[in-house]
Structure 1
């Protein structure tokens, strides 16, 4: 996911989790899955393995702004908290099965919008 200034809420820049360099450029690449690794197709791997590999890439390369690793959890309380983050641009939460391989053009997970996003969608 690539965020761009036109799609970034005006109050998003003030969130303390944003680094100074990201605020200056106002662009970030948010990685949430890994489909290739060093020339290897990882789409057949379960999501749990792809996610672990993605986290390893971020750690090994010490990636920072404009790169961002999308948060991931299996903790229901954390998910409930994330759904309150609409004021900083959080649109919702995607649920993926940990043992599923990546399937192009197939929605295998479940999406839940934040309350603010749900109101926006219903108003259209």
Structure 2
């Protein structure tokens, strides 16, 4: 079952001028941005909408020095561009989570939520509401 929820964009694959996928996060109870999962490949419309909205980190990024796997069963790591974690996006996600509390399947981006601040995004590990 899929539901929609919000997540913070912490990094992208591709570039800031042509993002291909999003690395999504949510803050935990201690205020740390935790990696929650990755999106499917962005549509051209969503990719274009993010250009000019995403910005490089203004200081130390919570994911600096982290590596992200390219997928299940692979040793390959993703090349990512860290972004200032201030943009919220609505995504459709499967309600299933892995043992680490991350989205089990890629999230499908819907729309940028300029009306929602990062503090309003559900906490890491919090289950999205059922439809």
Whether the TM-score (by the shorter chain) exceeds 0.5 is no
Higher normalized helix content (fraction of residues): 1
- The structure where strand makes up a greater share of residues is 2
Structure number with greater Rg is 1
- TM-score normalised by structure 1 residue count: 0.26
Q: Which has the higher contact order (CA 8 A, sep 6+)?
A: 2
